[in-house]
Amino acid sequence: MVIQALAFYLFAGILVVSALMVITARNPVHSVLFLILGFFNAAGIFILLGAEFIAMILVIVYVGAVAVLFLFVVMMLDINFADLRKGGMQYIPLGIVIGGILLFEFVTIYTYWQFSPDVIQNAALPMSGFGDAQNSEALGLVLYTDYIFPFQMSGLILFVAMIGAIVLTHRTRPGIRKQKVSDQHARKASDVLEVKKISSGTGA
Amino acid sequence: MELLYEFLSDPWSFWILRTVVYTLVVVMGLLIAVAYMTYAERKVMGAMQRRQGPMTVGPFGLLQPIADGIKLFSKETIIPSQAHRIVFLLAPMMLFALSLIAWVVIPFDKGWVLANLNVGILYLFAISSMGVYGVLMAGWASNSRYAFLGGLRSASQMISYEVSMGLIIVCVLLVTGSLNLQEIVLAPRPIWVQIMLFPMLIVFLISILAETNRCPFDLPEGESEITGGFMVEYSAMTYALFFLGEYANMILMSALTTILFLGGWLPPFGLEPISFIPGIIWFALKICSVLFFYIWARATLPRFRYDQLMRLGWKVFLPFTLAWVVFVAGMLMTFNALPGQREAAAAVKAEHVIVMNAVVDVTEADKKEAE
């Protein structure tokens, strides 16, 4: 138990620090790298909770795919960040006002918010009725039965988003030579080659 | 001495000690395997090109990898003055560490595994998808055009081929019904399932070439176009770490192929007479055969052009593997071979037998009563 607590504080500590570094790092590439570190430690906390499937999916999807594209884009940006920061001071009063309002709201919520006892009870209990089913199995049993329509709906939304992204970014540029493999395969020697007999002395 | 005894008799410290020793054994074995993988590569490629390969250091050149290692470690590490120092040094370390920590879930034999994770295959997939960061970080931190181009190429290439690799893994998981690597090996596979998975083996073999940046997909370091790609600025120890990481990844991917398709530590074709040979030998032999495929591909195939590589990944492999997932699922469903159905069928059979026995008992009791 001591080791679990230690691991939790390690993961949580690194998570908080790296999350802070994401917004304070001067170099955006460093920000993304800290974001990845944060994802990793979040996955570690999921593992401590016994949700190893979600932990792995978090690493595969966010670290392995989303953050790579993030990094990709950020690395390609060619911005002079010193110029970007020059005018930053004039927004400070506005920032202070917004921050103050948010802080006020948080304080009021924190002091007046109460959970109903039923909710706390529900939160403390994991869903029952799975016996000793493993993580992925239990998730599948819920996702494909009780929540099949929300699940399919989210799939549909992702599908539409994917098509939208492709339609928005796809452009046909003129003057680009593209390889058409089927044309190349369909080409025969008889279509393009002609063998001519030339008697000696008449060729150019 | 007494202190040592006390330390060892405590189950916790014993567990820690044992894990450390096992880890050291696996890591040392892996490093030696990497060293002799380079030797084997040079020898095999030499044989394929009618050369001798390394032959001067030690008998048959057997000490060549050690000499190479000493050379690399004793050279000076040069850090370009314009490089982002920390990220520059972090990249090779990360790549190397990732290629080592993946081995924690690999079962070398029945029960011979450091961590028997329930989601072992996902863990491996997650770790292998992390590998791209080492390359991307190296490319960016070098602050050099060639290195940056190499890093970008590598990132897009690895992401593209991971998609089809994921779908291939789904195909295998449909058959085995478990994410645990040991259970994947032990799951029963009828011969028609093996035949059905064979096209996936071919696609997987090609995908792991792309995933590990090996010939004919070694565009990230294509020396004829971008000199040395993402590792052009690296030297000595940092270069050695990239090198070790790349070869350890190759061995890891071979191990993954072995576990998914070639039956892990089990003797080939389920032959009983040769099952006295320990499983780890079979496992090693199968890994070596996949590694031979790697070397073979490198010695025989020319490098792909970049757009052709992308076309193969997205327009050929992705639709094909996607269709094959549906096909495999449909076939398994039709022939009642899905893992859940298999168990259900067995349960029904068992129930049937029990009912039959009960009927027999009742009839016999009736007979006795009648008598």
Chosen from B136, B174, B333 to mutate, greatest number of chain A CBs within 10 A: B136
Instruction: Give the number of A-B residue pairs with CB atoms closer than 8 Å.
Output: 69
Distance from CA of B228 to the nearest CA of A (A): 20
**What confidence score (pLDDT) does residue B110 get?**
81
Nearest residue to B105 via CA among B128, B124, B133 = B124
pLDDT given for residue B355 in this prediction: 62
Looking at CA atoms only, how far is residue B108 from chain A in angstroms?
22
Residues of A in contact with B157 (CB under 8 A): none
Residues of chain B with pLDDT under 50: none
Chain A nearest C-alpha distance from B290 (Å):
25
In Å, how far from its chain's centre is CA B305? 26
Chain B positions touching A134 (Cβ under 8 A) are: 118, 179
CATH number of the domain located at residue range(s) A1-81 in this protein: 1.20.120.1200
Those of residues 109-138 in B touching chain A at CB distance below 8 A are 117-119, 122-123, 125-126, 129-130, 132-133, 136-137
pLDDT at B14: 77
Spatial distance between the Cα atoms of A19 and A42, rounded to a whole number of angstroms: 11
How far CA A200 is from CA of A194, A203, A204, in Å, comes to: 18, 7, 10
Whether residue B110 contacts residue B268, with contact meaning beta carbons closer than 8 Å, is answered with no
What ranges in chain B are assigned the alpha helix state H?
2-9, 11-48, 64-74, 85-101, 120-141, 145-176, 181-186, 191-211, 223-226, 236-260, 279-300, 306-311, 318-334, 339-370
Residues in Cβ contact with A48 at an 8 Å cutoff, skipping those fewer than 6 apart: A4, A7, A8, A11
Residue-level pLDDT at B370: 63
pLDDT value of position B257: 92
Residues of chain B neighbouring A35 (CB-CB closer than 8 A): none
d(CA B233, CA B277): 46
Q: Scan residues 119-178 of A and list those with Cβ closer than 8 Å to B.
A: 134-136
Rounded CA gap, B170 and B179, in Å? 10
For the segment A165-192, the average pLDDT, to the nearest whole number, is 84
Q: What is the average per-residue pLDDT within A50-67?
A: 86
Cα B123 from Cα B179, distance rounded (Å): 9
| Residue range A112-132, pLDDT digits in tens | 777 777 776 666 555 666 666
Q: Do A36 and B126 touch (CB under 8 A)?
A: no
ipTM: 0.77
Q: Does A50 touch chain B (CB under 8 A)?
A: no
Alpha-carbon distance B91 to nearest alpha carbon in chain A (angstroms): 11
Residues from chain A that touch B123, judged by Cβ atoms under 8 A, are: 56
